[in-house]
Amino acid sequence: MSDGQLARRLTTGDAVTIGLGAMIGAGVFAAFGPAAQAAGSGLLIGLVLAAVVAYANATSSAQLAALYPQSGGTYVYGRERLGEVWGYLAGWGFVVGKTASCAAMALTFGAYAAPAYARPAAVGAVVGLTAVNLAGVRKTAGLTKVIVAVVLATLAAVVTAALGGGEVAVGNLDDPLAVGGVYGILQSGGLLFFAFAGYARIATLGEEVVDPRRTIPKAIPLALGLTLLVYATVAVSALLAAGPDALADAEAPLAAAVEVGGLEVLTPAVAIGATVASVGVLLSLLVGVSRTTFAMARDGHLPGVLARVSTRTQVPAVAEVAVGIVVILVLVSGADLREAIGFSSFAVLTYYSIANASAWTLSAADRRWPRWLAGLGVVGCAVLAFTLPLISVVAGAGLLALGAAVYGLRRLGSSGRG
């Protein structure tokens, strides 16, 4: 092991693929059920709201990543543009929120791959994928390409079955305000935002992409746009075939859409796709959380041992292992999938509100998109965060407050020693 810089090996295609691997899968296989429960067919409006906020966040992240091509993402941007405390809170929110996301994706994998042994399977997935990441970031990108291809093929089969099974009912899209009203639509937007947050994986790989000033601003919007197209197609198809009530009640909403559509012979393909998708998302999440952990440790906010880089693979190996261990502890302690999604969304929306506030401070020379987009991002993140389920808001705010207290105590300790 050695302290130092990470190697620049990822191309634009690699970065887009890692972003797609982080996004495609989470929303389709994990978030549509809770979103339908909150808003019924109004989840389509929630999907648009989530996409608008995600786009604002993406443009802010892209501009900032071009200026600060370092591992850490908004942890770095907040520190450089707003001050150390804001960077620290962004990093804390990201690590805590995305640890919950890792647990959610591991549980999704376990539920589809081995329903009778879901938690042991989830732990096994974390162990195996941590080993893949330790082998080097190029191997991570290569495996993600295979996973994305399999998932896209599976989703194409889902859409075909849902629309071609003879059970399509346009009336399933009627009255989007019937279930939860405006509040329900906003809540569904916050839950579906969980599905769009994967483009942060690209920004947190700032030290490992080739020509980051060009690569990152191209890769983030491209990955987001492709993901939105896939999500919208699958959401409309599932609603037309199964209806919002069936999606809300189903443990596997896309499997329900296929079964109702009359081509249930494709249901096993959905299980396979969900398993592969959850692996892809978990793989990318573990990369992103470990890179932010690495950056915070390098700056003294976390134990310095987490900043060590492997001399053989040039990845932050200690941070990779530490993140894997924490996720396993969350899994064995008992984690509910829907609560994990809500908690993760709250923490990550806080993270992106800091990213947007950071982008607001950019000069005209450094700005690639209109300033008002950053302001829209701040407002959008706040609205979606505070309309999430109450338990998610309380738990998220509590852990962020804990992070702030830890920062304050550390600062007091440093002042006392000085």
Binning pLDDT at 50, 70 and 90, where does residue 49 land?
very high
Binning pLDDT at 50, 70 and 90, where does residue 1 land?
very low
Q: What pLDDT is recorded for position 200?
A: 61
Burial class of residue 390 (count of CB atoms within 10 Å of its CB; 0-12, 13-18, 19+): exposed
Q: Which amino acid is at 126?
A: V
pLDDT above 70: percentage of residues in the chain: 88
Runs of H (alpha helix) within 68-83? 74-81
What is the arithmetic mean of pLDDT over 96-117? 84
Distance CA 278, CA 256 (A): 18
Helix axes 267-298, 84-113, angle to 10 degrees: 150
Model confidence at 31: pLDDT above 80: yes
Model confidence at 63: pLDDT above 70: yes
Model confidence at 41: pLDDT above 50: yes
Bridge partners for 209 per DSSP? 10
Q: What pLDDT is recorded for position 38?
A: 92
The reported pTM is 0.81
What is the C-alpha end-to-end distance of the chain, expressed in Å?
Answer: 31
Radius of gyration of the chain (CA): 20
Q: Which residue segments constitute the domains of the chain, with CATH numbers given?
A: 12-409 (1.20.1740.10)
- Tell me which residue of 22, 30, 7 sits closest to 219, measured CA to CA: 22
Binning pLDDT at 50, 70 and 90, where does residue 9 land?
low
